[in-house]
Amino acid sequence: MNSYALKIPVFSISTALPLRRQSDKKHSVDDIYPQIFDAILEQRIAPGSRFTEESLGQAFGVSRSIIRQVLTRLSHQQVIILRPNHRPQVATPDAEQTRQILHARRLTETTLVRLACQQPASRHLPQLRELIERERRYIEQNQRGPAIRLSGEFHLQLAQLAGNVPLAQFLGSLVPLTSLAIAYYEDQARSDCLWQEHAVIVEAVECGDAKVAEGLMTRLLEHLEVKLLNP
């Protein structure tokens, strides 16, 4: 059976997530965004499901205003589909869309990692290594959603290091959908070792070895495409 031929459920948030009372603590969009994205990546909010702002706000214990801003951000990243007179819906990238995204990422990230090798990177490397360490810890704790999200953040932070703002912004439009595809379609054992590949890329960047870094990035993304599109 084609793994992309999914039956799209109507999401009942009350049965999928524990309801939280809205607390007195002030939550920002930056607080709630990763929580909702993690819930999507872990499929506690099901692929293709629809929901209301009210139900999501109750589940995460925050106001509709916060939820609306989070959904807007996720919509810009194409993770959530927002249409007039329709409930918000979780996106489900298909095989062709995933193939095109990964092709665009290879073209973009090989350039970005090469540029990163040309930058004085020493002050940024500890931040990249901290992301990798957090990704590793989440894997060990069997928290796959946060690990996948942090894996994407690693690539975005490496892109910032390269110093080319338009390319980094373009990559920012590709990474969240890749994370969604990984969560839905990739073998867990494969995604569990991404942090190790990230660590080797950082070593190449630290040495300023653009040829090795570019080769490592190409191999990572090519292997990811094989795993996602040939389950």
3-class secondary-structure state, position 80 = strand
CA-based diameter of the chain, in Å? 53
CATH number of 95-229: 1.20.120.530
Residue 44 has pLDDT above 60, yes or no: yes
pLDDT digits (tens, 9 = 90+) for 48-99: 899 999 999 999 999 999 999 999 999 999 999 999 999 999 999 888 999 9
The architecture (CATH level 2) of 13-90 comes to Orthogonal Bundle (1.10)
The number of helices, as runs of H, and strands, as runs of E, in the chain is 12, 2
For CATH 1.10.10.10, the residue range(s) in the chain are 13-90
Residue 135's nearest CA partner among 184, 91, 201 is: 201
Q: How confident is the model at residue 7 (pLDDT cuts 50, 70, 90)?
A: very low
Q: How far apart are CA 189 and CA 85, in angstroms?
A: 40
pLDDT for the residue numbered 6: 34
Percent of the chain with pLDDT over 70: 85
- Let me know how long the chain is: 231
pLDDT for the residue numbered 188: 53
Q: How confident is the model at residue 194 (pLDDT cuts 50, 70, 90)?
A: confident
Q: Going by C-beta distance under 8 Å and a sequence separation of 6 or more, which residues neighbour residue 87?
A: 50, 51, 52
For CATH 1.20.120.530, the residue range(s) in the chain are 95-229
Instruction: Output the pTM of the full model.
Output: 0.81
The torsion angles phi and psi of 108, rounded to 5 degrees, stand at: -80, -45
pLDDT for the residue numbered 121: 61
3-class secondary-structure state, position 74 = helix
Mean pLDDT, the chain, whole residue set: 86
